[in-house]
Amino acid sequence: MKKKKIFDIIPPTERGVEISPIKLKREKHLKPLSSSKEKKKKEVKLKTISPGFDLKKKWWLGFLAIPLIIIVFAYFFIESRAKVEIWPKTKMENFKAEIRVDTSIKKINLADSILPGEIIEVESFISQEFVSSGKSTQEGMAQGTIQIYNAYSTSPQSLIAKTRFVSADGKLFRIPNRIVIPGAHYEKGNLVPGTIDATVEASETGEEYNIGPTTFSIPGFAGTALYTSFYGKSFSAMEGGFKREVSQITKEDLDNAQEILTERALEESRFSLEEKLTPDQVFLESLVTKEIVETSPLATAGQDLESFVFQVRGKSEVLTFKKSDLESFVKDYILTKIPTGNKLEEESLAIEYSLKEANLSKGEVVLELDIQAKTYSLPDKELLKKNILGKNYSIVSKEILAKYPEISKVQVRLSPFWIKNIPQNEERVEVDIVID
């Protein structure tokens, strides 16, 4: 079968129209076409100008469109929010109360106005060296050994204690004890003196008696035949003679040291006591007890020492209680004194306390309290929030102030800035209380 051709336009032959050939005539007045080279130059010139102008125009249009796009996006897609700040009318009120602190309880007793207390104890130990202020004279007598001779007879000769011996240069010495000098004897017809060694001491103190080896006579035999037959000799120097001024501890030195260290020990124990407390524990000077538990002078009055050491041990105690317990009691106390529903502005709370009674041995004190605080009343925040949803911000403040006389000031903040009404969604509305 022969396929039928389909045409968008029916060929002329099928419509029964005869097509005549077209004859072209050359017109003499027509100018010849420009050369292909010139035409190309003109086309290049046009292509260079047109695109530059179009790009510049599009760039400015795009730049101006960006803010518009942002605004449109923000308008339709950024969630609106509202923040309502409310200033309630406040009243400064004064209260007086009395409270007891007791170390025997562990928890606050609001009904009986009792706070738990605690005894804190600290000891301090102070040791210090002090210079002696007294003066004394130290002295010593020279002494040594001499050999005493008996060239008088073969009979022994006794000398009593304190018998004097005088050195060749006139220094006086004495024997401390009684002695007996042996008698002389003969050897090959010659008389050999009897001898004895004895200790002698100078009659006075001082270095001038530290003399070298010398001879001694016995002045008690002067004027008799015995004087030249009884004598003494030393073969080594005398030693130990001196006289000098030295430092000495006085009773006043000990008393002064004790007074100084007592004050320091008590002050240091008190300072350590205050440092030991936590920031939450109340420190009242009137509840501090201090005492000295030990004093130890490591020397005695009259000792010849240039310095001495004194030691003191002190102790401090304080009855303390927690500041948080006191504030908790005061807050609860105030709420029992103001109308039901009213609130306490806690940051305005000021408490002054003074000691009324104290029995530190039993661990009990009574304090008088002077209390100041701001109180205020407010409507229900959630109910207030529901009442303003969807309303124009310009009337919200007026409506709140008119409806709630306990409020002194209202401020509404909306975001973004172009919206005028409070959002309908409660979650997008924030209500804050501001206390001046």
210, 255: one domain:
no
Residue at 397: amino acid letter? S
226, 166: one domain:
yes
Domain around 207:
137-245
What is each CA distance from 301 to 285, 298, 413, in whole angstroms?
Answer: 37, 10, 85
What is each CA distance from 429 to 61, 300, 386, 421, in whole angstroms?
Answer: 39, 85, 9, 11
pLDDT at position 11 is 47
pLDDT at position 320 is 95
- Residue at a domain's end among 273, 299, 320: 320
pLDDT at position 275 is 92
- Residue at a domain's end among 320, 343, 374: 320
Residue 405 lies in a domain: no
Distance CA 248, CA 304 (A): 4
In tens, the pLDDT along 101-142 reads 999 999 999 889 999 999 999 999 999 999 999 999 889 999
43, 71: one domain:
yes
- Residue at a domain's end among 212, 229, 245: 245
Residue 305 lies in a domain: yes
pLDDT at position 77 is 52
254, 239: one domain:
no
**Which portions of the chain are predicted below pLDDT 50?**
1-50, 52-53, 74
Secondary structure class of 326 (helix, strand, coil) = helix
Parallel, antiparallel, or unpaired for β 114-131 and 90-102?
parallel
